[in-house]
Amino acid sequence: MNFKEELNKKSELINDLLKRYIRSQECPEKILNSSVEYSLMAGGKRIRPILIISTYELFREDIEKTFIFDVAMEMIHTFSLIHDDLPGIDNDDYRRGKLTNHKKFNEATAILAGDSLLNYAYNLVLNDIINNNEIKERKLQALYELSYGTDRMIAGEYVDTEYEGKEILSEYLEYIHKNKTGALIKASVKIGAILAGASQEDIDKLTIYAEKIGLAFQIKDDILSEIGDAKEIGKPVGNDKEREKCTYTTKYGLEKAQQILNEITNEAIEIISEFDNSEFLRELALYIANRNK
Amino acid sequence: MNFKEELNKKSELINDLLKRYIRSQECPEKILNSSVEYSLMAGGKRIRPILIISTYELFREDIEKTFIFDVAMEMIHTFSLIHDDLPGIDNDDYRRGKLTNHKKFNEATAILAGDSLLNYAYNLVLNDIINNNEIKERKLQALYELSYGTDRMIAGEYVDTEYEGKEILSEYLEYIHKNKTGALIKASVKIGAILAGASQEDIDKLTIYAEKIGLAFQIKDDILSEIGDAKEIGKPVGNDKEREKCTYTTKYGLEKAQQILNEITNEAIEIISEFDNSEFLRELALYIANRNK
């Protein structure tokens, strides 16, 4: 199986897992549940749960032990997208070529759908930990990492919003990227490693790999937001510049941003190559740097 | 110590606990942290953590074992208030006589402050569970109850919002009250009982008490929203009627609502009286029914 086939297969697996947790359309809050389902199944790349599974696979084969975290991670990521798109924050009408949640439903529904997804992620994992004695301590540690990553992601989103249209120091730009996108990517890799029982030394190395690809992911997003194909990425391009949003491309220019992207991708590949069976994670670093959406 | 003195003492204790968890004002997200602090310290009645502590005290004296849950519960309650007040939901300018979070700061800050509080509540408890081996299983079960109550609270808030201005079946009214306000009140009592190691039989009895006072709390809120003193309750009265919001008073009229309130308060007192040392929880049921703010 080549990289693209494996990526698609893993992405399909995540979609199937998510479908298991879609809630009743026969209850007073049925429209809330529909709105959650709408955003959850809107066709994301599922990079974060794929990172959990693929990091776990460096050490063990029984990937079903990661499933509840795969679902929880994608729920929390989806919550963050729904809230970021809100009129009070980025005020975006489209995401992945589809109407954003508040445009498809309404603002109250989008706020509460995001809240519900964030909270339900914890509810699901806690239920699993209570009713399943396997690797309980590891799961608790992994859930803590999820909560920490989410905390940093929210802080990063806040600082990004606060500095929109303002001159920004490069240390703040780094802070935003490290937290807003990087925190959940880092948490995903750490969760995979913790669940697999990796040594602290291995967790530390993998954390550096995760930091590199997290930063690469955001720089690539910045580049695509400026010069990507609007049809491919599913939202208008050039918005960031218009809003005077601080990004790698508005701060450093396109050429320098691309250069940084290449450098950190190479660094990530170097670190992950120290692990056996790491071909997929090497290819994933390249995929993040080279994707067109 | 009489009831009022004990209530104030417990409320002060909660305020002191919350202050311990206020975060840095020296970081890129400092305004986000200020906004969280603003709403957290805006002078709530702290009924939910007081219920955790007072239920725990039916069984044990070492109430410090509940502290992290007292803080987490009040954080989640505060998150729900910040989001409910948003322009996209209730669009309220005042709460407890102070500007609502989005009026004092801005909408983006209020959305993210709510998100941050909800998530940080889990982060704090998980950190405590990982680093402290005492009553670990009870704490896990209690955290699950917190997540379940929060899930139901969000669903109740959604249905409340969805039916604003619409004719509503009384089963939906009951659903809204049971979930929107009742779910976290019930969770508080259950958390107190679970942490104390109460028997399932006792937990079941206390759950019924909690359901009664939860409903009483919401009916009293409905009554105060219609005929309360705006200065005492800190927001305009008569808003619910104007918005055609479905409440006990708009549905049943003031007299009938008051009658239901008295009945369920008496039922709650009857149940809690089966426990030794339950005087405070008896008085609390009366306080909920008779408060003027």
Domain positions in chain B are: 3-290
Contact call for B88 and A83, based on CB within 8 A: no
Does ipTM exceed 0.90? Answer: yes
Minimum distance, in Å, between the CA of residue A33 and any CA atom of chain B: 9
* pLDDT 10s digits, B50-60: 999 999 999 99
> Given its phi and psi angles, is residue B67 left (phi above 0), alpha (psi -120 to 50 degrees) or beta?
alpha
| Other C-beta atoms lying within 10 Å of the C-beta of residue B226 | 18
The residues in A 47-86 lying below 8 A from B, measured between CB atoms, are: 79, 83, 86
Q: Which residue has the higher pLDDT, A232 or B211?
A: B211
Mean pLDDT split into 10-residue runs, chain A, 293 residues: 95 97 90 97 94 98 98 98 97 94 98 98 98 95 98 96 78 89 97 98 98 95 82 65 71 91 98 97 96 85
Contact call for A147 and B32, based on CB within 8 A: no
Length of chain A: 293
Beta-bridge mates of residue A98: A95
Residues whose CB falls within 8 Å of the CB of residue B163, separated by 6 or more in sequence, listed in order:
B172, B176, B246
Q: Which of B27, B154, B160, B246 to mutate to test the interface with A (most CBs of A within 10 A)?
A: B154
Contact call for A111 and B147, based on CB within 8 A: no
Q: Which residue has the higher pLDDT, A69 or B292?
A: A69
What homologous superfamily does CATH list for A3-290?
Answer: Farnesyl Diphosphate Synthase (1.10.600.10)
H or E segment at A106? none
Nearest to A172 by CA among A185, A188, A186, A156: A156
| Tokens at B128, concatenated | 């405590």
Chain A partners within 8 Å of B111 (Cβ)? 83, 86, 88-89, 111
pLDDT value of position A43? 86
Chain A partners within 8 Å of B87 (Cβ)? 88, 107
The residue of chain B with its CA nearest to that of A175 is B28
B94 at interface of A, judged by CB pairs closer than 8 A: no
Give the sign of the dihedral formed by CA B259, CA B262, CA B266, CA B272.
positive
Looking at residues B119-124, what average pLDDT do you find? 98
pLDDT value of position B192? 98
Distance between CA atoms of residues B110 and B35, nearest Å: 7
Q: Residue B74 pLDDT more than 80? A: yes
Instruction: Supply the DSSP symbol for B65.
Output: G
Minimum distance, in Å, between the CA of residue A38 and any CA atom of chain B: 16
Nearest to B32 among A122, A158, A172 (CB): A158
